[in-house]
């Protein structure tokens, strides 16, 4: 499990702009705990989603098969 220590820089509409060292990134505001404010420190946990990855790969295969089979017709 990896963690990212970040600070909420600001909110832009429904997005939160966070900084982590020299890096800046945005997230949907809804993924942050309720009541978070600008300047607040947050810890993000990053884990792999193996089952979700397998689902996405299967979806991609199915779409590719549809495209290839429709091209043959």
CA distance 38 to 16: 9
Whole-model pTM: value is 0.69
Break the chain into its structural domains and give their ranges. Answer: 2-72
Q: What is the dihedral of CA 8, 12, 15, 21, to 10 degrees?
A: -30
Q: Is residue 2 a contact partner of residue 46, using CB atoms and an 8 Å limit?
A: yes
The pLDDT assigned to 73 comes to: 67
The single-letter DSSP state of residue 4 is E
- Reference 6, options 14, 31, 53; nearest CA is 31
Domain spanning 2-72, CATH class: mainly beta
Q: What is the pLDDT of residues 27-55, one digit of tens each?
A: 999 999 999 999 999 999 988 888 888 99
pLDDT the model gives residue 70: 83
């Amino acid at each position: 499990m990896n963690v990212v220590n970040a600070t909420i820089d600001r909110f832009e509409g429904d997005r939160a702009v966070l900084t982590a060292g020299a890096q800046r990134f945005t997230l949907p505001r809804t993924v942050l705990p309720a009541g978070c404010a600008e300047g607040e420190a947050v810890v993000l946990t990053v884990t792999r989603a193996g089952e979700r990855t397998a689902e996405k790969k299967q979806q991609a295969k199915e779409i590719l098969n549809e495209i290839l089979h429709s091209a043959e017709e």
